[in-house]
Amino acid sequence: MSRAFSLYLDAVRFLAALLVLFYHANWIYRPGILFTSLGHEAVVIFFVLSGFVIAYVADTREQDFRGFMVARGARIFSVAIPAIILTALLDAVGYHISAAVYPEGYQAWDLPLVRVITSTLFLNEIWTLGIQLFTNVPYWSLNYEVWYYVLFGVLFFFEGRRRWVVFGLLCLLVGPKIVLLLPVWWMGVWVYRSEYLAQLPKSTAWLCLILSLLGGYWYVHVNMGQWGWDYLKELMGPDLHLQLSFSRQFFTDYYLGAMLSLHFIGLRVLLANVDDLPKRLVSTIRYLAGATFSIYLFHQPLLWFYSAVFSSVEEGFPRYLLVVPCTLLSAIVLANFTEKRKDVWKKWLEQLLQLLEQAGSRFRQVLAR
């Protein structure tokens, strides 16, 4: 992967995090512009990007399933655990300051222990479950993505019949909602692993890029996401459609995922030989991209917390101008203590696994006596 293409992926990752933040900020004030209306589409971007990046790191860094899962675990838990704790604290303080700013749909505070346990184990969205982590609605996608990591690791590192048996059992465990969006995530894997796509002529790469831009424009122009939602609801019936939760427009998510894949296919070829990049641009994008996971997982509770803090400010645009920048800056600062410290979490996970392995070994020795 060329340096320029890697930098472009980082820029897209940061942009996707901003799209989600501004989408949820519509509760505070609705600017009515396209940039603030693409929250679900940003998650599709994250899925395709994630599939590409995970395939890359598995191919170039991790040597076995254990190492792969430890690295992924460090990345996830370094932000997920602080997000669970921070969401609970911010919700409690924010609601105490001003209960009026919290919409009813976000007041998911009953059965707190259940919500914390399922969020820690990433079981919130299996089968027909839909357990919200307090006000942190965006946490749902992590309950999809973590299982995609595990499923990929099984297919990539396991061998023979065991690979497909374990893969099938895991799919049965997580259920149809999560499996329905797996092809979107796997598009990124396919783009990375295809040697044919990596060697396309530049003329074909330009065609892929142009088609992706036209396809993206058409998606927005006809409001395809809403159409996919309505079509599946009519086809399946409202009750079954409701059970799909965040997979309720998977049909058009496949289309959007395909357009994003074309986009990355084209740009990977076109940027393959571009290496001369301004150092300041590189360092800025890398720094911001290093905070995207924190922005994604922290922004929702921060939005409500700052809405409560600034509840005395006039509703609408004046409050929006305070809440959104404070939320973004806070998430970027928090990233320095979470995802940018994932190496610490990796050491902890390694130590924990060693302790478990030692305990297992001693247990087997006792049984063998």
Residue spans of the domains in the chain: they are 3-368
Residues 6+ apart with CB under 8 A from 217: none
Across the range 118-141, mean pLDDT stands at 96
Residue 357 pLDDT more than 90?
no
174-188 per-position pLDDT tens digit: 999 999 999 999 999
> Does pTM top 0.85 for this prediction?
yes
Tokens of 270: 């076109």
Tens digit of each residue's pLDDT (9 = 90 or more) over 92-119? 999 999 999 999 889 999 999 999 999 9
State mean pLDDT over 115-136: 96
Q: Is the pLDDT of residue 274 over 90?
A: no
**Tokens in use for 251?**
């049909």
Mean model confidence pLDDT for the chain: 94
Q: Count helices and strands (H / E) in the chain.
A: 17, 0
- Is the per-residue pLDDT at 369 higher than 90? no
Quote the pLDDT of residue 122: 97
Q: Over range 129-153, report the average pLDDT.
A: 96
Is 246 within 8 Å of 141 (Cβ atoms)?
yes
For 26-83, the pLDDT digits (tens) are 999 999 899 899 999 999 999 999 999 999 999 988 889 999 999 999 999 999 999 9
What's the angle, vertex CA 358, arms to CA 170 and CA 365, rounded to 5? 100
Instruction: Report whether pLDDT(291) > 90.
Output: yes
